[in-house]
Amino acid sequence: MHKSNDQNDLESYMSKLNQIDLNLLVSLQALLRTRSVTKAAIQLEITQSAMSRTLQRLRQQFGDPLFVRSKGGLLPTERAQALAPSLDCLLQDAESLLTPAEFEPSQSTTKFTLMITDFFAQVFMPSVYEVLFQQAPKMTIQCLNNQTNLMEMLALGETDLGFSNLSDPVSSDIYAQKLGEDHLVTLMRKNHPLAGSPLTLESYCQASHALITMGGDHLGTIDLALAKRGYKRHVALRMPHFTAAPYAIAQTDLLLTLPGCLARDMAEHLGLIMVAPPIEMEPFHYYMTWHARQHNNIAHRWVRQQIQEVIKSNMLLRQP
């Protein structure tokens, strides 16, 4: 009895499928993203020697070295680079296939890692935690300080969600969802020499300022706006913490220009005066970002939805 072409194709397909170890493909993805046996092992929670053995198996499976060592880490071969796009799609589809069709928040033990600034953590996240833990009490949340390499952290799977104003373009494998709009405002103490009179561009530039800078930048957004008009201000104090800076303003004659959502809270708490900067500034937006491989994850999608709803509602309440 002769087999049909369809039967032969199916047997050939099943034979190839039986040769595939999904764990090997997950390891290959980790190696492609980290370019390091050590980092990939940490990400997958296995030993470095186990990851080295896995790399050997991958080389045998694909008949290619896949990676060559260099001073900067592992460099993928052309074969490995060609595999990367299809590999991401395959594993994302596999994750979607294996994810339960229904998600029950009250029973979820999922762990989420969020990368946020101290500002975002103070202003928006308490309400988010309230909603998440009310509906998903078994869920675990880990918060990391916001870093300049947020997009890399998302790609490596070292954080699930990031929050920023997206000053730079994002790559095609990153999703970004707008959460709300904000404006810069200026804070000063009640007895500041400039309090009680209109804040002019000249008096603003003649005053001393504090600047919140996360990555060691010497210029803020408003400095760039001033420079376009031929002005420059004196920054006497640079700090990496949004929530600590207003305390310094309360004790000095420094001015502080920062996002309005945080400024309103701190002005009320510390008895500070809040005024508009004497230069027109475009509003900026807050975004929630995540990697494409998490886009269809049902638990991830549920968390994103809760965060979006809470923060958008929170921002509407904080509008002047």
- Alpha-carbon distance 272 to 264, whole Å? 9
CB-CB neighbours of 208 under 10 Å:
13
Residue 305 burial (CB < 10 Å; 0-12/13-18/19+)?
exposed
Q: Which residue type does 269 have?
A: H
Lowest mean pLDDT among 2-6, 61-65, 107-111, 306-310: 2-6
The reported pLDDT for the residue numbered 131 is 95
CB-CB neighbours of 18 under 10 Å:
8
Q: Does the fold of domain 184-282 match that of domain 105-172+292-313?
A: yes
First to last CA, the chain: 81
The reported pLDDT for the residue numbered 9 is 47
Q: What is the mean pLDDT of residues 42-49?
A: 90
Tens digit of pLDDT for each residue in 143-180?
Answer: 998 877 888 888 888 899 999 887 777 788 899 999 98
Model confidence, pTM: 0.66
Q: What is the architecture, at CATH level 2, of domain 105-172+292-313?
A: 3-Layer(aba) Sandwich (3.40)
Q: Specify the CATH number of the domain 5-98.
A: 1.10.10.10
Asked if the model's pLDDT at residue 6 lies above 70, the reply is no
Lowest mean pLDDT among 6-15, 22-31, 229-238, 268-277: 6-15
Q: Which residue type does 196 have?
A: G
Tens digit of pLDDT for each residue in 282-308?
Answer: 888 889 999 988 888 889 999 999 999
Domain ranges of the chain: 5-98, 105-172+292-313, 184-282
% of the chain residues with pLDDT over 70 = 89
Comparing 79 with 320, the larger pLDDT belongs to: 79
- Alpha-carbon distance 294 to 288, whole Å? 13
Confidence of residue 204 (pLDDT cuts 50, 70, 90): very high
Confidence of residue 102 (pLDDT cuts 50, 70, 90): confident
User: Under CATH, domain 184-282 is a member of which superfamily?
Assistant: Periplasmic binding protein-like II (3.40.190.10)
Phi, psi of 113 (to 5 degrees): -110, 125
Tens digit of pLDDT for each residue in 215-247?
Answer: 655 567 899 899 999 999 999 999 888 889 999
Comparing 134 with 293, the larger pLDDT belongs to: 134
The reported pLDDT for the residue numbered 151 is 86
Tens digit of pLDDT for each residue in 248-262?
Answer: 999 999 999 999 888
CB-CB neighbours of 89 under 10 Å:
12
